[in-house]
C-alpha cells in the first residue's frame, strides 16, 4: 500500500495509487489551531463552516488533481444506508441528498465522504474499474451501508474477489465510549468492557468485519492505524471539537488517463 503525506500545502495523504486509481484522505494541514474547530482544510459545506472557506478548499483540491471543481461528488450525508450510483444520466448532481455512499465507474471525477471520527471506507475493483466511497458511522455500519455499497458495485459489474478496501483514519476503540444501548448492537468481539466504565466499541474493526462478511478478502483490506480523536490537531474530530466542526474528506478517483500524473508523488 502506497502511503505518503504530501509535503506541499494541500494537505493530502495518499492511500493508494495503482491501476489508474487514486485514493486519499485530507488532514487539517498546518493552519489548524486548537481554538477554532473549523481551522484547517475542510470541504464540508453542511457542518456549519463558512461557505467561502469550504469552497476555497474544494477548489484547491480540484486544482491539485487537475480537475474542475464540479467534478467533486460529495453526498449530503445523514447516517443513512442509502447509496447513490453516479452515471452519465445524473452527472449534474454533485451533492446527492440523503445518501451516505457513492459508487461510480465514470473516470475523471472524485467521489468522497466527509467524516470527523466516523469511518470512511474507499473501495475499488481495479480490473472492472468501479469505485466507491462510503461513510460508516455506527448507525450506518449497523444498518448495512457497507453491504449496500458493495451490492451497488456488483450491480455495475464489480467482483468481490477483486475488490480492495481502504478503511481510512477514524475513531479508535479507546476513544469510542458508548452507552450500553449502542454497545449491545455490536458483536461482542468489537466491544471492550471494563468493570468501572462504559463500554467501548471498535468501529473500524466492525467495518472490517462487514467487509469480510460481504466477501472481501482480509488481504485486500487496508486499515489505517490512525485515530482522528487521538490527533485532533491533525484530523477533525467531532468528539474533540463537537459536531460543529470541519470534516476530513476521504476520496477516490479513476484517472481518465492512467499515464497522467497527479500531485508530485509519481
Q: Are 169 and 235 in contact (CB under 8 A)?
A: yes
Nearest distance from C-beta of residue 225 to Zn ion, angstroms: 10
Across the beta sheet with 72-73, the strand order is 4-5, 12-18, 21-26, 248-254, 110-115, 72-73
Paired with 83 in beta bridges are 101
Helices 203-213, 145-155: axis angle to 10 degrees equals: 40
Rule CB under 5 A: is residue 217 a binding residue for Zn ion? no
Residues 6+ apart with CB under 8 A from 261: none
Q: Which residue is nearest to Zn ion (CB)?
A: 227
Site string for Zn ion, 87-126 (x = CB under 5 A): ----------------------------------------
Residue ranges in 227-266 that form contacts with Zn ion under rule CB under 5 A: 227, 229-230
Nearest distance from C-beta of residue 227 to Zn ion, angstroms: 3
Q: Which is nearer to Zn ion, 217 or 230 (CB)?
A: 230
Nearest distance from C-beta of residue 52 to Zn ion, angstroms: 32
- Per CB under 5 A, the segment of 155-163, 193-201, 208-216, 225-233 that binds Zn ion is 225-233
Nearest distance from C-beta of residue 211 to Zn ion, angstroms: 21
- Per CB under 5 A, the segment of 116-124, 138-146, 180-188, 220-228 that binds Zn ion is 220-228
Q: Are 159 and 128 in contact (CB under 8 A)?
A: yes
Residue 166 sits at the vertex; the CA angle it makes with 234 and 73, to the nearest 5 degrees, is 80
Q: Which is nearer to Zn ion, 60 or 177 (CB)?
A: 177
Pick the binder of Zn ion from 91, 156, 175, 217 (CB under 5 A). Answer: 175
Nearest distance from C-beta of residue 59 to Zn ion, angstroms: 32
What torsion do the CA atoms of 110, 96, 26, 217 make, to the nearest 10 degrees? -70
Greatest CA separation found in the chain? 56
Q: Are 5 and 238 in contact (CB under 8 A)?
A: no
Q: Are 7 and 265 in contact (CB under 8 A)?
A: no
- Per CB under 5 A, the segment of 43-51, 54-62, 118-126, 174-182 that binds Zn ion is 174-182
Measured between alpha carbons, how far is 128 from 27 in angstroms, rounded to an integer? Answer: 30
Site string for Zn ion, 153-172 (x = CB under 5 A): -------------------x
Nearest distance from C-beta of residue 172 to Zn ion, angstroms: 3
Give the count of residues interacting with Zn ion (CB under 5 A): 5
Q: Which residues lie near Zn ion (CB under 5 A)?
A: 172, 175, 227, 229-230
Amino acid at each position: 500500500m502506497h502511503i505518503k503525506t504530501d509535503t506541499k500545502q494541500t494537505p493530502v495523504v495518499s492511500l493508494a495509487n495503482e491501476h489508474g486509481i487514486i485514493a486519499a484522505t485530507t488532514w487539517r494541514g498546518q493552519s489548524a489551531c486548537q481554538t477554532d474547530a473549523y481551522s484547517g482544510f475542510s470541504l464540508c459545506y453542511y457542518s456549519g463552516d463558512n461557505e467561502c472557506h469550504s469552497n476555497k478548499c474544494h477548489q484547491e483540491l480540484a486544482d491539485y488533481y487537475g480537475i474542475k471543481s464540479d467534478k467533486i461528488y460529495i453526498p449530503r450525508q445523514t447516517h443513512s444506508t442509502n447509496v447513490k450510483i453516479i452515471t452519465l444520466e445524473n452527472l449534474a448532481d454533485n451533492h446527492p441528498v440523503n445518501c451516505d455512499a457513492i459508487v461510480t465507474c465514470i473516470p475523471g471525477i472524485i467521489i468522497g465522504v466527509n467524516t470527523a471520527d466516523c469511518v470512511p471506507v474507499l473501495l475499488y475493483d481495479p480490473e472492472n474499474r468501479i469505485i466507491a466511497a462510503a461513510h460508516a458511522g455506527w448507525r450506518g455500519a449497523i444498518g448495512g451501508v457497507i453491504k449496500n455499497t458493495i451490492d451497488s458495485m456488483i450491480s455495475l459489474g464489480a467482483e468481490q474477489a477483486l475488490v480492495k478496501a481502504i478503511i481510512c483514519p477514524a475513531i479508535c476503540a479507546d476513544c469510542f465510549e458508548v452507552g450500553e444501548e449502542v454497545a449491545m448492537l455490536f458483536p461482542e468481539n468489537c466491544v471492550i468492557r471494563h468493570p468501572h466504565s462504559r463500554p467501548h466499541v471498535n468501529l473500524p474493526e466492525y467495518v472490517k468485519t462487514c467487509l469480510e462478511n460481504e466477501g472481501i478478502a482480509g488481504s485486500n483490506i487496508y486499515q489505517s492505524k490512525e485515530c482522528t480523536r487521538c490527533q485532533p490537531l491533525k484530523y477533525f474530530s467531532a468528539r474533540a471539537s463537537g459536531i460543529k466542526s470541519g470534516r476530513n474528506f476521504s476520496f477516490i478517483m479513476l484517472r481518465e488517463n492512467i499515464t497522467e500524473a497527479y500531485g508530485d508523488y509519481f
